[in-house]
Structure 1
Amino acid sequence: MTGIDYVRGDATAPGGKGVKIVAHVCNDLGGWGKGFVRAVSARWPEPETAYRRWHRERAGNGFGLGAAQFVQVGPYLWVANLVGQRGIRTSRSAGPPVRYEAIDAALGPLGDKALELGASVHMPRIGCGLAGGTWERVEPLIAGRLVARGIAVTVYDFGG
């Protein structure tokens, strides 16, 4: 039992009351355009704009594997861009681009932000889509970094 609530639905339309943070994993190349980020961009333009600026100005702002960026998209709604993927998967890739240690590191500031805001966290199965990770490796990271700190976490499996 991890304390994570699993639901079928759309993580970009989180349910419940109060402040919410929608979290997802990004790559470290500044690329945005496939996977869950398309759903994020279809709902809110601000996270993509902020992520691209963050990457473009990375020389002095902490952008990189394990970093987290928080973008407010509504009065009680934030998006967390978590850099947990090294590059992207290509036909010549040696392995999946997921970096579990980077996801783990980025979950730390996510937990801090959730506690600061009194927010719940909502996400798809981060790191397990285009990043190529396995939920068996990611779920314990979320349980340890968020649930163990008393943060309510809902994971969305897309579909109705």
Structure 2
Amino acid sequence: MAQLEIVRGDATSPQGKGVKIIAHVCNDLGGWGKGFVSALSRRWAEPEAAYRRWHRERAHNDFGLGAVQFVQVDRYVWVANMIGQRGMRRGSKGVPVRYEAIATALGTVAGRAEELGASVHMPKIGCGLAQGRWERVRPLIEERVVRRGVAVTVYERDG
């Protein structure tokens, strides 16, 4: 039975054997540069370049809340750029996190994980700059990914 495990460590260095998908939340404005994406960019150039191209060409693709872009960065590692954040700041519509969009994106990630026979790895998505609450995000991960038989590892940073 698949499970959600929380460990200390770096989600850009996913643990375990086999194919891995690193899932994280991006905003819908094309901005990339703070939070977990900085760690991704220090490790690989491809996820940022692909995200920026995806946003730039959004009139001709599926870029938008709930969409996911998969970028292969290594033979056994993929990055899932999930659009789950409206804008970048708290405003009249509240915090940037969009739980419905994250739920939709997680369903897509689970489907790809099933196709690849992959496990899913992530930081506490939507709970950093997007200002979401883990007690609302965790059940989405359990419902959309773990219940489908896909193992999930969530990484908490040291310090």
TM over 0.5: yes
Q: Which amino acid aligns with 2:40?
A: V
Residue 2 (structure 2) pairs with residue 24 (structure 1):
no
What is the aligned partner in structure 2 of residue 81 from structure 1? Answer: 81
SS in structure 1 opposite 2:40? helix
| Residue matched to 2:119 | 120
The answer to whether the 8 Å contact 2:3/2:150 transfers is no
- Paired with 1:19 and 1:3, the residues of 2 have a C-alpha distance of 17
Distance 2:10 2:129 in 1: 17
Identical amino acids, percent of aligned pairs: 71
Partner of 1:50: 50
Partner SS state of residue 120, structure 2? strand
Runs of 4+ in 1 over 4 A off after TM superposition: none
Aligned to 1:71: 71
Q: How many residue pairs are counted as aligned between the two chains? A: 157
Distance of 2:128 and 2:145 partners within structure 1 = 21
Letter aligned with residue 147 of structure 1:
V
Whole-angstrom distance in 2 between the partners of 1:55 and 1:44: 18
Take 1:159 and 1:42, find their aligned partners in 2: how far apart are those partners? 18
Q: Deviations over 1:45-72 (max 9, x none)?
A: 0000000000000011100000000000
Correspondences of 1:102-121 after superposition (within 5 Å): 102-121=101-120
Q: Secondary structure at the match of 1:148?
A: helix
Q: Which residue of 2 aligns with 1:39?
A: 39
Classify the secondary structure of the residue corresponding to 1:51. helix
- TM-score, normalisation: structure 2: 0.96
Rounded Cα–Cα distance in structure 1 between residues aligned with 2:40 and 2:138: 22
Q: Following TM superposition, by how much is the alpha carbon of 1:3 offset from its aligned partner in structure 2, in angstroms?
A: 2.5
Q: For residue 137 of structure 1, what is the aligned residue in structure 2?
A: 136
Q: Which amino acid aligns with 1:110?
A: V
CA distance in 2, matches of 1:18, 1:36: 23
Gaps of 5+ in 1: none
**RMSD value, Cα:** 1.2
Q: What is the TM-score with the length of structure 1 in the denominator?
A: 0.96
